[in-house]
């Protein structure tokens, strides 16, 4: 039977609960256990697919086409867990299914209530991830902070579940902040005491406290937290700020976290083996002796989380290539205002990520033009591919004002147009072309040399595609269609006579891992670095 770890957060948000869960998963997996994850998000949207990145950050897409919380990205990057739509639960999903059941008459005669109907639905969905696959440990992250009104049904559900599962079958881990107050020169434990107090009020007793702190915790401070929060001193685990998120599993292990979990859950497992992670990631983090500066041109540039997987994938590739990544975030609207040169003087690569709508689009097209003409390595993703195609059509093929029908419905040259299957779709939620699709690669291309195989599968999230009516004219002018889907959709384009210029319809960033960077990102950064060498 699978065991469960429930992780809640206290004091403030953004303490890195997702990274903590992913790190715990990594540690348990490195002890030979099979782990999976669930993220519970207390908002009423059924999924984050309809939210603006400024509201929510990136929407992470799984192989089965679920639009999910970005924490699932952390879980997949740190571990081998294969996540699906079942691994992200939202209040919206829970209520939607309970209300459908009510309308169907499944609860005939009863008053449908938060307890037990909503909480039962949550419990059933948490348990469901253990049915089909063999799993040893399920790590369940409760989004938000203890005390949030909307989070309470989830907290009540995990309280009940732990009770029902019985001894040694479930653990509560509470991630909290232990701030250092500079002016007083002291570490403060009171916020943690309050946060644990709030948990106790609803019947949850934390078994382990993960204390985010910038200073080392002394024995006395640990003892104080233990005494007032009712946990053993060995269960007060400091989670010190790390230089890289990928060091967190090691730091937590050094504090004894994995041994403690194994003991408390009575898990049968082997000794911790992090050798591959150490070799491929941690050691390499120490030898980043050169820099690679990449311009990411988008419109959600201010928010760190909007292009999370892209930044991580770039970082993985930089680590692999022995370089330190410097990201220059460029707002494409600024390019429209101030011209492109100013922003790209010192960059070794240009990347245009996915996106929606017309704001800043001309700035992105200018960025593509600059990268193409100045032979700067270029990677375009989804909308980034669309802008690459539009730029080529306009400036190389002479198709003046060519555009995507997403931006201009009446363009004379619709080089990007709505997917056939999308034409009849009227609703917005989960209706894009989503998830994994196959693609065949053409030999002797950048794409083929990266993947080194003919058949690949990548994840998608879009409604518009390359318009095949323009394939011939573009090909004549030097565009290469290096990846084509079995249904004839263009998945990858590249151009000749350029050090590295690739754009793809899919999102390679979702499959990159720190110890196994995505091959497109790997080769892109390698190209950017060789440009650095040439220019020296
Ligand atoms: N807006 C474009 C489309 O829907 C691109 C989507 C994306 O970049 N994820 O096709």
Q: Which stretches of the chain drop beneath a pLDDT of 50?
A: 536
Taking CA atoms only, the protein residue closest to ligand 1 atom 9 is 354
SS3 at position 210: strand
**What is residue 78's predicted lDDT score, i.e. its pLDDT?**
98
Distance in Å, CA 310 to ligand 1 centroid: 15
Both tokens assigned to 62 = 């799984």
Which residue in 468, 521, 518 sits closest to 491, CA to CA?
468
Could you give phi then psi for residue 205, rounded to 5 degrees?
-105, 115
406 Cβ inside 6 Å of ligand 1: yes
**What is residue 55's predicted lDDT score, i.e. its pLDDT?**
82
Distance in Å, CA 120 to ligand 1 centroid: 37
CB neighbours of 211 closer than 8 A, spacing ≥ 6?
176, 177, 178, 192, 217, 225, 236, 237, 238, 239
Question: β-strand 455-462 against 433-441: which pairing, if any?
Answer: antiparallel
Distance in Å, CA 411 to ligand 1 centroid: 18
Cα–Cα dist 388/495, whole Å? 10
DSSP string for residues in 46-103: SSGGGS-HHHH-PPEE-TT--EE-THHHHHHHHS-----GGGEEEHHHHHHHHHHHHH
288-535 — its CATH code? 3.40.50.880
Taking CA atoms only, the protein residue closest to ligand 1 atom 8 is 354
Intervals of CATH 3.40.50.300 along the chain = 3-279
Intervals of CATH 3.40.50.880 along the chain = 288-535
**What is residue 304's predicted lDDT score, i.e. its pLDDT?**
84
Quick one: fold of 3-279? Answer: Rossmann fold (3.40.50)
What confidence tens digit (pLDDT) does each residue in 349-388 have? 999 999 999 999 999 999 999 999 999 999 999 999 999 9
Q: Which of 21, 382, 397, 439 is catalytic?
A: 382
Catalytic status, residue 382: yes
**What is residue 308's predicted lDDT score, i.e. its pLDDT?**
95
**What is residue 532's predicted lDDT score, i.e. its pLDDT?**
63
**What is residue 289's predicted lDDT score, i.e. its pLDDT?**
86
**What is residue 263's predicted lDDT score, i.e. its pLDDT?**
97
Query: Which value, in Å, is the radius of gyration of the alpha carbons in the chain?
Result: 25
Sign of the alpha-carbon dihedral angle for 45, 49, 51, 53 = positive
353 Cβ inside 6 Å of ligand 1: no
Cα–Cα dist 496/478, whole Å? 6
506 Cβ inside 6 Å of ligand 1: no
**What is residue 533's predicted lDDT score, i.e. its pLDDT?**
61
Catalytic status, residue 211: no
Distance in Å, CA 474 to ligand 1 centroid: 21
**What is residue 536's predicted lDDT score, i.e. its pLDDT?**
43
Residues 380 and 504: beta-carbon distance below 8 Å: yes
**pTM higher than the cut 0.85:** yes
What confidence tens digit (pLDDT) does each residue in 96-128 have? 999 999 999 999 999 999 999 999 999 999 999
């Amino acid at each position: 039977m699978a065991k469960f770890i429930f992780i809640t957060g206290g004091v403030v948000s953004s303490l890195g609960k997702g990274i903590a869960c992913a790190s715990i998963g990594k540690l348990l997996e490195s002890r030979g256990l099979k782990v999976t994850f669930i993220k519970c998000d207390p908002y009423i949207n059924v999924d984050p697919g309809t939210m603006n990145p400024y509201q929510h950050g990136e929407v992470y897409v799984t192989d089965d086409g679920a639009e999910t919380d970005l924490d699932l990205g952390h879980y997949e990057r740190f571990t081998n867990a294969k996540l699906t739509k079942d691994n992200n639960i939202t209040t919206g999903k829970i209520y939607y299914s309970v209300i459908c059941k009510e309308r169907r008459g499944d609860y005939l005669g009863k008053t449908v209530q938060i307890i037990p109907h909503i909480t039962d639905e949550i419990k059933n969905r948490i348990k469901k991830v253990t049915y089909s696959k063999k799993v040893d440990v399920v790590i369940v992250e409760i989004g938000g902070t203890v005390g949030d009104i909307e989070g309470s049904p989830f907290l009540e559900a995990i309280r009940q579940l732990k009770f029902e599962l019985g001894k040694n079958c479930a653990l509560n881990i509470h991630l909290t902040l232990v701030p250092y107050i500079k002016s007083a020169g002291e570490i403060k434990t009171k916020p943690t005491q309050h946060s644990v107090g709030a948990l106790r009020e609803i019947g949850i007793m934390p078994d382990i406290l993960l204390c985010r702190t910038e200073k080392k915790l002394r024995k006395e401070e640990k003892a104080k937290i233990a005494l007032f929060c009712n946990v053993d001193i060995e269960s007060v685990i400091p989670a010190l700020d790390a230089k890289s998120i990928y060091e967190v599993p090691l730091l937590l292990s050094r504090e004894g976290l994995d041994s403690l979990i194994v003991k408390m859950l009575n898990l049968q497992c082997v000794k911790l083996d992090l050798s591959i992670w150490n070799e491929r990631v941690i050691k390499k983090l120490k030898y980043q002796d050169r820099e690679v500066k990449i311009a990411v041109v988008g419109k959600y540039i201010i928010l760190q989380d909007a292009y999370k997987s892209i930044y991580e994938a770039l970082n993985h590739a930089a680590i692999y290539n022995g370089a330190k990544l410097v990201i220059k975030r460029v707002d494409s609207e600024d390019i429209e205002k101030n011209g492109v040169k100013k922003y790209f003087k010192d960059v070794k690569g240009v990347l245009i990520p996915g996106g929606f709508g017309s704001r800043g689009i001309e700035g992105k097209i200018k960025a593509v033009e600059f990268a193409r003409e100045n032979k700067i390595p270029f990677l375009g993703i989804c909308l980034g591919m669309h802008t690459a195609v539009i730029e080529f059509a306009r400036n190389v093929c002479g198709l003046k004002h060519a555009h995507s029908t997403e931006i201009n419905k009446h363009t004379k040259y619709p080089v990007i147009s709505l997917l056939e299957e999308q034409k009849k779709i009227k609703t917005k939620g989960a209706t894009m072309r989503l998830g994994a699709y196959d693609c065949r690669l053409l030999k002797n291309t950048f794409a083929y040399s990266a993947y080194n195989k003919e058949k690949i599968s990548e994840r998608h999230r879009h409604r518009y595609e390359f318009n095949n009516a323009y394939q011939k004219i573009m090909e004549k002018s030097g565009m290469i269609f290096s990846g084509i889907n079995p249904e004839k959709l263009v998945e990858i384009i590249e151009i000749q006579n350029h050090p590295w210029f690739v754009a793809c319809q899919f999102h390679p960033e979702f499959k990159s891992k720190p110890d196994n960077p995505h091959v497109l990102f790997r080769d892109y950064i390698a190209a950017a670095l060789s440009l650095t060498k040439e220019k020296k």
